[in-house]
């Protein structure tokens, strides 16, 4: 065979006798001429067939998906692993993206056991490469033998990271002890002005954000939001008045914090989003017996809330979830909201990310990112508009970070340009 010849010519010759002349010589002259003419046309026929098939398989210019590669699968990396860096268990993931693009991932470092409210420090890891690798762990709040719990950070318009958390006193009596003092559950806030490298001493904000008769309370967990008016909003809940949710808010860039109105009852851990019309929506863990997420909205900045309703599409096993703005139509052509949770009525499995185009009324897009063990999670939007999800897995033995695109989430049906 001549290597310089086209592939189809080589293939044709390879499957024919090397010298067909002796075979043809036994046939009449007319038959020999017809046979040679037919053989000479085989390469041309094969070439035509190849061109036709190529045109059928190639995307038409201008058609959806033309010239675009198939969406990449999510990439998962370990962030916290049980037993490492001096802690028995890591729980309650939270992650924010700073103005410089740094990922700051928070967790509870439970010192002695997996138990809630046991000796717990607040810890973090940072990533400066979009979650591919993570820098060594830092302790943000040293609380042991008490418990620093339920991280709920937010980044303000100046780039400062504010971290709100609850402190539970030693002895596991926070759920039943009312008051504003050190023997009761209290609220604290710390901040970082250098992308999470160093942190200010925590400040106690309990007096302005807790009613004296309240007992247990928590924040998020997950993240807070900065509204389009630069208000900082932290979702929170309390246990004394029938398990209700509310918000903390700051209109002076984190200097002082106030308490909003209540939504409930029979709801718990929550996340809040500012809708396109400026109203707020709470998405809440529900104790209402429906195995569905509970929803409430506010049109007055969180001072009052609508009646709680169960969302029929958002199934849950009674667990925390993440709820986040992805895009606004004024900036990226469409309103898009994201949601993640264990999409199961029976257990903390089937980690699923959903997408809404109508401000949380319906969720037509859903895709599993972790089919097995999946509990608490926290979503984030990176500077290049990829989506991050920090989540608990392996029955609380690991907290991992998944990164994926809108293309993957929608199976190539939707995409967005970077900011």
Distance (Å, whole) CA 161 – CA 105? 12
Q: Are 180 and 204 in contact (CB under 8 A)?
A: no
Whole-Å CA distances, 202 to 191, 234, 248, 250, 266: 8, 17, 17, 16, 31
Active site residue 269: yes
Q: Are 342 and 349 in contact (CB under 8 A)?
A: yes
Q: Are 196 and 98 in contact (CB under 8 A)?
A: yes
Q: Please, which residues bridge with residue 377 across strands?
A: 391
Q: Tokens in use for 330?
A: 């004024």
- Asked if the peptide bond before residue 233 counts as cis, ω within 30 degrees of 0, the response is no
- How many angstroms from the chain centroid is the CA of residue 387? 6
Helix (H) or strand (E) holding 271: strand 267-274
Distance (Å, whole) CA 157 – CA 205? 21
Sorted by sequence, the CB contacts under 8 Å of residue 191 that are 6+ apart come out as: 160, 161, 162, 163, 199, 200, 254
Q: Are 262 and 211 in contact (CB under 8 A)?
A: no
Q: Tokens in use for 325?
A: 């703005």
DSSP conformational letter for 362: -
**Active-site annotation holder among 5, 73, 84, 269:** 269
Distance (Å, whole) CA 354 – CA 153? 22
Q: Are 222 and 320 in contact (CB under 8 A)?
A: yes
Catalytic residues: 269
């Amino acid at each position: 065979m001549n290597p310089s010849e086209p592939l189809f010519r080589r293939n044709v010759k390879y499957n024919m006798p090397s010298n067909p002349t002796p075979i043809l010589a036994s046939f009449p002259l007319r038959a020999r001429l017809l046979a040679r003419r037919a053989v000479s046309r085989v390469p041309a026929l094969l070439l035509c067939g190849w061109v036709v098939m190529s045109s059928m398989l190639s995307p038409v210019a201008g058609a959806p998906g033309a010239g675009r590669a198939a969406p990449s699968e999510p990439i998962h990396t370990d962030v916290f692993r049980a037993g490492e860096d001096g802690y028995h268990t890591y729980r309650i993931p939270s992650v924010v993206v700073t103005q410089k693009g740094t990922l700051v991932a928070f967790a509870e470092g439970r010192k002695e056991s997996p138990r809630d409210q046991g000796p717990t420090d607040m810890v973090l890891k940072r990533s400066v490469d979009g979650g591919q690798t993570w820098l060594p762990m830092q302790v943000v709040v040293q609380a042991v033998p008490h418990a620093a719990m339920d991280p709920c950070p937010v980044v303000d318009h100046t780039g400062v990271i504010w971290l709100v958390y609850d402190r539970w006193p030693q002895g596991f009596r926070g759920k039943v002890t009312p008051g504003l003092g050190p023997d009761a559950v209290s609220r604290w806030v710390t901040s970082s002005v250098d992308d999470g490298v160093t942190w200010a001493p925590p400040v106690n904000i309990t007096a302005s954000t807790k009613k004296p008769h309240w007992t247990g309370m928590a924040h998020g967990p997950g993240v807070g939001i900065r509204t389009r008016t630069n208000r900082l909003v932290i979702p929170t809940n309390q246990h004394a008045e029938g398990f209700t949710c509310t918000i903390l808010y700051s209109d002076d860039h984190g200097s002082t914090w106030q308490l909003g109105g209540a939504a409930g009852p029979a709801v718990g851990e929550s996340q809040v989003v500012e809708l396109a019309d400026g109203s707020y929506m709470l998405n809440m863990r529900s104790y209402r017996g429906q195995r569905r997420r509970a929803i409430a909205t506010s049109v007055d900045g969180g001072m009052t809330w609508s009646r709680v309703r169960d969302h029929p599409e958002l199934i849950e096993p009674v667990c925390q979830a993440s709820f986040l703005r992805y895009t606004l139509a004024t900036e990226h052509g469409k309103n898009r909201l994201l949601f993640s949770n264990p999409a199961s009525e029976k257990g903390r499995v089937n980690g699923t990310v959903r997408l809404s185009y109508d401000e949380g009324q319906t969720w037509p897009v859903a895709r599993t990112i972790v089919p097995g063990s999946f509990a608490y999670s926290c979503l984030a939007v990176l500077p290049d508009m990829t989506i991050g999800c920090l989540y608990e897995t392996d029955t609380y033995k690991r907290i991992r970070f998944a990164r994926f695109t809108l293309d993957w989430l929608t199976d190539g049906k939707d995409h967005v340009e970077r900011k």
